[in-house]
Structure 1
Amino acid sequence: MFIQSAHEEKDTSALLQFIRENALGMLVTGIDSSLDFLQCTHVPFVVDLPGEAEESSPRGRLRAHIAKQNPQVKGMIEALENKPNVLELEQDVLVVFNGKHDHYVTPKYYVETKPDSGKVVPTWNYSAVQVYGKLSLYYDSKTTEAGNFIMQQMKDLSQHLETSVMGYTGGERPQPWKVGDAPEKYIELMQQNIVGIEIRVDKIQGKHKMSQEMRPGDREGNAISFLVKERGVLHDEKRQKY
């Protein structure tokens, strides 16, 4: 990821919180197998902060589950076939998370700079976080370790998304859906058809490209000006400190 200093977010806790608020990630792998070398799957993730779980890395970990029939999973399993006791992929994986708001920025938005000098060009404002790390695959739900991991992952993901995304606050259905609401045999069948994904975070980086380096008048003309204003204020505060 190319990151200009004005756009960079260095706070790890803020980056992990960004993932919690934007759970859908793109899992990217490069694996030598009989399938395509590069594979990508869109999947929602659970974030474990550093110290929240015994298995968590010093920088945290991500958890997810995807279908066994997914070609990306088939490539992983193929890569592990000769190593039955090793669940960890040798290659690093990449997960990309995008913010909820992005927008094309026309030079016409720059109401301060454009009339003054005309030295403006189009761009695209967005926010994103990238995570690099080692992936462990829990692919046999009949084993105790994989079965426990997958069940806990399903429960944690449902709880997180039901409460943070759906935002149950009362009314006729005040309680979020939980895994236990589905028939036990049905859940067992679901478990047999998915694999658990665990990624221990080795590196995390992110950016908020929101025209914060532009003049105040240019920020106000932007189509997503509320985010542009927020990042602009933070940018200005940092400049004043130094």
Structure 2
Amino acid sequence: MYLPAHFEETELAAMHALMRAHPLGTLVLHGSAGLVADHLPFLLDTEGGGPGILLAHVARANALWRDALAGQGGAMVLFQGPSAYVSPNFYPSKAETHRVVPTYNYSAVHAWGRITVRDDARWLRGLLARLTRRFEADGQAQTLQPWRIGDAPADFIEAQLQKIVGIEIAIERMEGKVKMSQNRSDTDRRGVIEGLRRRAQGEDGLVAEEVERRLQEDC
């Protein structure tokens, strides 16, 4: 990933926060069919310290886990944070020089490691319980009880466990990038914040918050 110094994120806690806030990662692996990509919800385990461990599962019919067993090489997981198009019209400097062009603000984390395959029903059940607790805790209406694995018939769950395989990626290296108009003047950065909030489409509000947060840190 191209990493100009002013966009590079080096804080491990910040990278972990992005991964947890946006857990649907893109797993890229060089497999038997060449480069392949799968989109998986990941659980990030940092209890052991360091960069952490990524946990997920794939369908047993997915060739990914067989490629990992065959030793086809390492894997990379991409996590994408909020992003938004930035119009030159947002910059106050446009009225002065017109020497401005469009860009895109975004944040991302890349993590590298080797896959360990977990084809064990007990391990998988534990992972599914953790994933369920993690995601059921988000966005549930107060009138709803979080769903639990025990809510489904035991024989049904056992049958589902036979259809999946677990994967574990011990992270060996990470890169983070947060491109939030840090290369613009303070005046233009405030213009980006105002422009995004005025447009208010997609993830504009989230990006505006991040641009503002970083601007305040720099002031």
Same fold (TM over 0.5): yes
The more displaced of 40-49 and 64-73 is 64-73
Residue 50 of structure 1: CA displacement? 4.4
1:215 to 181, 185, 192: 185
Residue 159 (structure 1) aligned to one of 117, 124, 133: 133
Identity of aligned residues (%): 34
Say if 1:45 and 1:63, in contact at 8 Å, map to a contact too: yes
Structure 1 gap segments, 5+ residues each: 53-57, 80-88, 140-145, 238-242
CA contact (8 A) 2:68 2:115 kept: no
1:132 maps to what in 2? 112
Runs of 4+ in structure 1 deviating by more than 4 angstroms, as ranges, are none
Count of residues paired in the alignment: 206
Shift of 1:160: 0.5
The AA in structure 1 aligned to 2:181 is S
Matched with 1:67 is 59
Secondary structure (helix, strand or coil) at the match of 1:166 reads coil
Q: Which structure has the highest strand share of the two?
A: 2
Instruction: State the SS of the aligned residue for 1:6.
Output: helix
SS in 1 for 2:6: coil
The CA deviation string for residues 115-167 of structure 1, in whole angstroms up to 9 with x for no partner, is 2332222111111111001110123xxxxxx222211110111111111x324
Which residue of structure 2 lines up, in the alignment, with residue 23 of structure 1?
23
Aligned-residue offset at 1:74:
4.6
Indicate the residue corresponding to 2:162 in structure 1. 192
Correspondence for 1:182: 152
RMSD of the TM alignment (CA)? 1.8
Question: Which of residues 96, 101, 124 in structure 1 aligns to 2:78?
Answer: 96
> Whole-Å Cα distance in 1 between the matches of residues 28 and 162 of structure 2?
23
Whether contact under 8 Å (2:68, 2:116) holds in the other structure is no
| Structure 1 pair 9–50 and aligned structure 2 pair: CA distance change class (3 A) | farther
Does 2:124 align with 1:122? no
Q: Is the Cα contact below 8 Å between 1:43 and 1:64 reproduced in 2?
A: yes
Unaligned runs of 5+ in 2: 197-203
Contact 1:50/1:59 (8 A) holds in 2: no
Q: TM-score, normalised by structure 2?
A: 0.87
